[in-house]
Every structure is written in C-alpha cells, then in structure tokens.
Amino acid sequence: MPSLYAEIEINASRRRVWQALLRKEQWLYWNTFLYDCDSNQTFEQGQEVSLSLRRRPGDEETEFQPRITLVQPEVCLKWVSSIPGFANEHIFQLQETGRDRTKYIHQENFSGLLTRVFYPFIRQDEQQGIRRMARELKRYAESPSSASSNAFRKG
C-alpha cells in the first residue's frame, strides 16, 4: 500500500499540539496545507467534515469530505476520504518524548484500484505538503503567542 510520512519533534506538550491540530478553525493562522471549510463541523468519530487542501502554495484548493474514523484525545486522529476505486487515510499521531516534548507523525495511506492512476501525480506535492504542515505546526505550537491565543482557550 503506497503511503507518505512526515514526523517532527515539537517543543510543546502533547496537549498543546493536540489543541492546535484539533481546532481546525484556527488552522488559518498557521496551516497552509489543510483548510477548514465549515467550522461548525467538529472532529468526532463517525462525523463527516468538509476540508480542503493545497498541496503547493499558490495551487488551487482541493475540497474533500473525509469521515473521522478515530479520535483518541492527545494521541491520534484518523480520517478517510474516498471515491470509487481510491481511498486516502490520514493518520495524525502524537507521542510524548519528554517533558513538554512531542513527536508529531502524519501518515497518509492510499488504497484502491485507482491508486496506480492518482498516486504518481500527487505523491511528490502531497509529501511536500505534509512536511510543510509539520514544520508549521511546530512553529505555531512552540510560539509563546500560541499559548495565549484563542486556539488554546479552554471552552
């Protein structure tokens, strides 16, 4: 099964990284890969959400409606988007690696008969996009201003 992978060490607690990742209405402040199309839709297991992605800066956004398959607070978020013959699973994992240190892992798995058709065209740009998102998440979660921003307000 073809897959893409990115990981990065973030100097922030797993809770802080989770909150930045889960609060998609805040993505516009740091995330240039994934975009929220409907902030009223939350990441709840079984829920379908409207998102879009931009593989490369300046490209057109591609909208998709993944179904959330797993929400394990501060540990893992998974979703699957599919069309007949092609499925794409995103897995976001957080691993505590020390006091206020988190390993962020973003993996994409592709499956279906049409993978041979689509994967060669998206592989390189998609890989760059998930790496870019990892770097942006690191910058955002480590910034002092993110701790006091709306992204980390309890509520």
- pLDDT tens digit string along 3-61? 999 999 999 999 999 999 999 999 999 999 999 999 899 999 999 999 999 998 888 99
Token pair of 98 as six digits: 């020390």
Domain boundaries, position 129: 3-152
> CA-CA distance, 155 to 149, in Å (whole number)?
13
Strand, helix or coil for residue 76: strand
129 within 8 A of 53, measured Cβ to Cβ: yes
Token pair of 16 as six digits: 């802080």
Q: Is the dihedral of CA 95, 63, 130, 30 positive or negative?
A: negative
Domain count, the chain: 1
The model's pLDDT over 70-97, given as tens digits with 9 standing for 90+, comes to 999 999 999 999 999 999 999 999 999 9
* Cβ neighbours of 58 (radius 10 Å): 5
pLDDT band at 147 (very low <50, low <70, confident <90, very high): low
Token pair of 20 as six digits: 């930045």
Average pLDDT of span 129-136: 97
Average pLDDT of span 131-152: 81
pLDDT in the model for residue 152: 41
Strand, helix or coil for residue 14: helix
Pair type for strands 101-111 and 67-72: unpaired
What CATH number does residue 103 fall under? 3.30.530.20
pLDDT band at 144 (very low <50, low <70, confident <90, very high): confident
Biggest distance spanned by C-alpha atoms of the chain: 46
Which position has the token pair 């209405």? 25
Choice between 40 and 155, residue whose per-residue pLDDT is larger: 40
> CA-CA distance, 114 to 122, in Å (whole number)?
13
